[in-house]
Amino acid sequence: MASETSGYDYIVVGAGSAGCVLAARLSEDAGTRVLLLEAGSREPLPAVATPRAWPTLTGSSMDWGDHTVVLDGIGRTEAWPRGRGLGGSSAINALAFVRGHRASHDAWVTAGAQGWGYDDLLPYFRRTENVKGGDPAVRGRNGPVSVWTSTSPHPLSQAAMDAARQVGHPIAADANSGLEEGFGWTELTVVDGKRQSAADAYLLPVLDRPNLDLVTDALVHRLVVDGGRCTGVQYSVGTRMVTAECGTEVVVAAGTVGTPQLLMLSGIGPQDHLRELGIDVVADLPGVGANLHDHPMTTVIYHSMQPLPPFLANGGAEVKGTVRSGPGAPWPDLQLFCAVVPMRTATLPGPEPGAGYTIAVSLMAPFSRGSVRLATAQAGAASVIDPRYYTDSRDLDAMAAGLRAARELGTAQAFDAWRGEEAQPGIDVQDDDALRGYLRRSLRSYHHYAGTCRIGVDDGAVVDTDLRVRGVEGLRVVDASVMPSPISANTNATVYAIAERAVDLLRS
C-alpha cells in the first residue's frame, strides 16, 4: 500500500537530540509546516525516566541494538547502542550534560568548519540551557534544558573530589564553562528526579502545534532527489509506504550511524561502495560514513573495603575531571570520573556491584578514525560499524598516561577508607606493554560517536559550513555526524547547540 503527503516546508528525519530541537524551533513560526519522522515508538519505556536505570536501556526496544565489527587488535565486537524513539540517544544516555573545552571546539575551525568555533557556538549553548549558577555570560538561564547537580553526593564521590584536590588537580568552579580544566561536579539532565530527554525538553511541550506533525514507527527508506534537489522522503509505517514532499528542505538528523546510512541508501556517498551494492549514484561524496570517531574508555577497578551505599542519579559518575595526557596535548585530552559501580567488561573478572568501584578514563582527542558502511541496500538493516579504536598508536600512548592518572587518583589518601585490592588492571600490570595489553582487553565505548558527515570545505567534507549536503540542493544534515573532530566532552550538549545554530541557518 502506498500513499503521498505534501504541503510541508521542512521534513526532519529522526526525533533524537538534534531532531527534537529542530522540530520544536522550526515550528515556532506558525506559518511553517514541519513533519518529524521517527523510526522508534512514541511511548518511552518506564526505565527512561529513572536516571539510574539507564544501563538497562542498552539492548532494549529503545536501542537499535548495533554492534561493531570484530575490532582490529582487540579481537571482539563492542555493543554500540543508539537511541530509537522520541529523544533518540538522549532518552537512553547516561544523562551527563557536559561542554567541551573551547580549544577542542576551535579545532573544528582549523579543520575547515568556519563559524563553528567555541565563541560561535556559545550563544547556542546558552540558548539550550536553564542553569541556576555559573557566569551568565557563559551559561544560559532561559533555555528548555534543565541541568541538575546532586546536592548530597555519594560518599565515594566526595572521596573522588577530595582525592582530585590531594593529587593537585585544579577544581573548576564551573566545569561546564568550556574555559576551565580540572575536576567538578557533573551536571545531569534531570528534573525532579526524572530524566529530561530532548523530547521532554523540546518536543513534548509543543506537540499540540497544528503546524507540527509527528509520525512515529516511521522508518525512512530513502531521500527523494529529483534533478539534483531533495524534494522529500519515502518512509514506511508497518506495511504502508508513504512519500512525503516538502517545499523548502529535508533535514536529516538520524545520528552518526543513521544519517550516513540513509544518505548512502539514497545514492549519496562513496560511489564505489554504492555501486558494489547496486545503488544508483546521486552524488559521489567519499566522506559519507568516513571519519567516524568515538571516545575509547578504560577503567581501574577496586574492591571496596566496605559495602557501598546505593547510588542515586546516573550511577555515581557525580565527579568528572579533565586532565592532559602530557605537555604536548593540545587541550585536556583525558576525562576521568569515579563510578560507584565496578565497570568491567564481561570478559574480565572483578567485584560485583556493591563490592567495588571504578576510576574510569576516556580519551577525548583520539586520532583513530573508523567508518560506517552499508551491509546491504535494504533500509533498516544493521550497518557495518568499524570504529578502528587504537589503530593510531598515539591513542594508546595517551590512554596509558590516562591509566596512570586514574591510578594516581585512586590511590590518593581520600580513598583510604574505601580502597581494597586493585581488581583491574591489577598491580602486576605496570610497564607500557602490559598497560597497552590491558587497554585493549578493557576497551569500552563511551558512546560518543560522531564525524561521519563532517563539516568542511575539502573533498572529504559531506556538508558545507551551513550544513548543506555538498552537491544536493534542499538537503542538510544536523546531528552528531557533522562534528569534524572529537570534542573534549560527552557529546549531547554539543548536539543541542549544533541544532540550535542550524535553526538560525535554516531560517536565514
Contact status, residue 15 vs residue 23, Cβ threshold 8 Å: yes
- Quote the CA–CA distance of 213 and 423 in Å, as a whole number: 52
If one counts every other C-beta atom within 10 angstroms of the C-beta of residue 132, the result is 10
How far apart are CB 13 and ligand FAD at their closest, in Å? 5
Q: Is 17 in the site for ligand FAD (CB under 6 A)?
A: yes
Q: What angle do CA 176, 179, 184 make, to 5 degrees?
A: 40
Specify the long-range contacts of residues 279-283, CB closer than 8 Å, at least 24 apart. 279/374, 279/377, 282/225, 282/472, 283/469, 283/470, 283/471, 283/472
Q: What is the contact mask toward ligand FAD in residues 339 to 358, using x (rule: CB under 6 A)?
A: --------------------
Q: Is 335 in the site for ligand FAD (CB under 6 A)?
A: no
Q: Is 497 in the site for ligand FAD (CB under 6 A)?
A: no
Rule CB under 6 A: choose which of 18, 47, 268, 400 binds ligand FAD. Answer: 18
Q: Is 88 in the site for ligand FAD (CB under 6 A)?
A: yes
Q: Is 298 in the site for ligand FAD (CB under 6 A)?
A: no
Three-class DSSP category at 9: strand
Q: Is 89 in the site for ligand FAD (CB under 6 A)?
A: yes
How far apart are CB 141 and ligand FAD at their closest, in Å? 21
Q: Give me the residue label for grid cell 586514574.
A: 406
Q: What is the contact mask toward ligand FAD in residues 67 to 86, using x (rule: CB under 6 A)?
A: --------------xxxx--
- Quote the CA–CA distance of 317 and 492 in Å, as a whole number: 16
Q: Which stretches within 73-221 are classed as H helix? A: 102-110, 118-128, 155-166, 198
Stretch near ligand FAD under the rule CB under 6 A, chosen from 142-150, 248-256, 347-355, 404-412: 248-256
Whether 448 is catalytic is yes
Q: Is 447 in the site for ligand FAD (CB under 6 A)?
A: yes
Contact status, residue 323 vs residue 52, Cβ threshold 8 Å: no
How far apart are CB 185 and ligand FAD at their closest, in Å? 14
- DSSP secondary structure code for residue 202 in this structure: I
How far apart are CB 88 and ligand FAD at their closest, in Å? 3
Q: Is 232 in the site for ligand FAD (CB under 6 A)?
A: no
Rule CB under 6 A: choose which of 12, 40, 212, 222 binds ligand FAD. Answer: 40
Q: For residues 105-164, which are near ligand FAD according to CB under 6 A?
A: none
Q: Is 490 in the site for ligand FAD (CB under 6 A)?
A: yes
If one counts every other C-beta atom within 10 angstroms of the C-beta of residue 500, the result is 23
Q: Is 14 in the site for ligand FAD (CB under 6 A)?
A: yes
Stretch near ligand FAD under the rule CB under 6 A, chosen from 125-133, 153-161, 215-223, 282-290: 215-223
Mark 38-58 as b/e (b = at least 16 C-beta within 10 Å).
bbbeeebbebbbebbebeebe
Contact status, residue 369 vs residue 292, Cβ threshold 8 Å: yes
Element (H, E) at 35: strand 34-37
Residues contacting ligand FAD: total by CB under 6 A: 43
Polymer length of the chain: 508
Q: Is 289 in the site for ligand FAD (CB under 6 A)?
A: no
CB-nearer residue toward ligand FAD: 94 or 398: 94
The binding site for ligand FAD (CB under 6 A) comprises: 13-19, 37-40, 58, 81-84, 88-90, 92-96, 98, 218-220, 253-256, 258, 262, 447-448, 479-480, 490-493, 495
Active-site annotation, residues: 448
